[in-house]
Amino acid sequence: MRQDIKFTLGIDDIPKQWYNIAADSPVPLPPPHNPATNEPASPKDLEAIFPRNLIEQEVSTERYIDIPEELREAYIMLNRPSPLVRAVRLEKMLKTPAKIFYKREDLSPCGSHKPNTAVPQAYYNMKAGTEHITTETGAGQWGMSLALACSMFDISCKVFMTCSSYDSKPYRRFAMETYGAKVYSSPSGETKFGREIKKKYPDTPGSLGIAISEAIEMAVSEKNTKYSLGSVLNHVMLHQTVIGQELIKQLEMADVVPDHMIACVGGGSNFSGFSFPMLAKKIQGKIDTDFVAAEPSSVPSLSKGEYRYDFGDTAGMTPLLKMYTLGHEFIPSAIHAGGLRYHGMAPTVSLMKDLGYVRPVAVEQKVTFEAGVMFANAEGVIPAPESTHAIAVAIDLAMEAKRKNEEKVIVFNLSGHGLLDMTAYEKYLSGNMV
């Protein structure tokens, strides 16, 4: 029997620390700015929406941050460590000499990588005495994950879900409600900003920026309530690095060094978690891997955005973040990859792109679903619409290796499954996808 198809780790291999890219960046990470003064924000400026223990992680420049044993045990429930799989059937289908591997983040109870940070965020909020958490969600992976995490630590959860996904992805909404969360279609009538947007743009598909504004407005106006987010900020990025740290061990087991590492990008969390531990080796000159950030062509923040300070939300309630942005008032079209409908990009990912360590590639929606269907037929896993962006790029690189007859090593992150996204696949299969 072949021994080079699946690479698994034991429970003892769950990382004991999170990795922080800020420690190895050749230049300091630009700090968030206070929009009133345009000066660097102090940790105290963030205390209205985040607990102090998470703010300490956000501003840390330590290379490693210890993971509490209680959270390492929780990661077992989330099916960590996740396997690395060689896509041998996809290789045969493509008739490529390239070796293709994928990290399976679809095996968590919520079907995506998002619980890797949802559980720590809920845990640290619990430790800080938080009773209520508000958040936003696009396609629902994040909202579902935070709802589960809050149920684990007896915290109430309110989720503002972009209305395009609220309507098209009801089963993720039902899952959030099963975990005890209250879910609002955003823009909603629950907040002043939501009501203003509904009046100004009655037919809006919503956006993550709008939903963030609503969640923050509720967090700052209700007692003992904090805000939590599934991407963008550095404490979220470092929680996700359990993925990449496991991956390094698995690549050693497979005895390969990737020529290309690929993950989809919306706000940047799965890309960061997957790539940053390995990208540190590139910063140190130890590898020459090509790190590819796959994004929707309709929301090309890294490909076509400006690198500047901007708000993380539509209403302008967040601190100013230095990032690649399409503008905080940008409202993307209602693509099926709802988790990628964000106007900006994580400051850490943005900095790595600006320094030349990350290469963005924008992909059309129909191309991604074509790749997703091909992958499903080859490997048996129906991928989330977000993940199909990474798969599409991986297939393109595998075909390039075929044309050049090169034995490249291609590794991508399967950030989630698409079993709750079948209405999107139905539109593609029926020929009704725009």
Strand partners, 162: 186
The average confidence (pLDDT) of the chain is: 94
pLDDT band, residue 434 (cuts 50/70/90): confident
* Angle at the Cα of 381 from the Cα atoms of 380 and 382, rounded to 5 degrees: 120
| Among 394, 383, 393, residue whose Cα is nearest residue 428 | 383
Domains 6-14+79-112+236-429 and 17-28+47-64+114-234 share a fold: yes
111-137 as b/e: b if 16+ CB within 10 A: bbbbbbbbbbbbbbbbeeebebbbbbb
* Residue pair 421/165 in contact by the 8 Å Cβ criterion: no
Contacts for 244 with CB less than 8 Å, ≥ 6 apart:
19, 273, 274, 275, 276, 277, 278
Q: Is the pLDDT of residue 121 over 70?
A: yes
pLDDT value for 154? 97
pLDDT band, residue 334 (cuts 50/70/90): low
Question: Rounded to the nearest 10 degrees, what angle do helices 242-254 and 269-283 cross at?
Answer: 60
CATH architecture of 6-14+79-112+236-429: 3-Layer(aba) Sandwich (3.40)
* Residue pair 321/232 in contact by the 8 Å Cβ criterion: yes
At residue 17, the 3 state secondary structure works out as strand
Contacts for 400 with CB less than 8 Å, ≥ 6 apart:
none
| Among 189, 187, 184, residue whose Cα is nearest residue 173 | 184
- Sketch the domain layout of the chain as residue ranges: 6-14+79-112+236-429, 17-28+47-64+114-234
pLDDT value for 333? 73
* Residue pair 334/161 in contact by the 8 Å Cβ criterion: no
Mean pLDDT lowest among 40-49, 166-175, 419-428: 40-49
- Angular region, 49: left φ>0, alpha ψ -120 to 50, beta rest: alpha
CATH architecture of 17-28+47-64+114-234: 3-Layer(aba) Sandwich (3.40)
Type and span of the H or E element at 64: strand 64-66
pLDDT value for 3? 76
Q: Is the pLDDT of residue 1 over 80?
A: no
* Residue pair 151/127 in contact by the 8 Å Cβ criterion: no
Q: Extract the tokens encoding 102.
A: 């994928």
| Segment 64-81 mean pLDDT | 97
pLDDT value for 318? 86
pLDDT value for 330? 85
Q: Is the pLDDT of residue 19 over 80?
A: yes
Secondary structure (DSSP) of 327-384: -TT------S-GGG--SB--HHHHHHHHTTSEEEEEE-HHHHHHHHHHHHHHHS--B-
Tally of CB atoms within 10 A around 359: 16
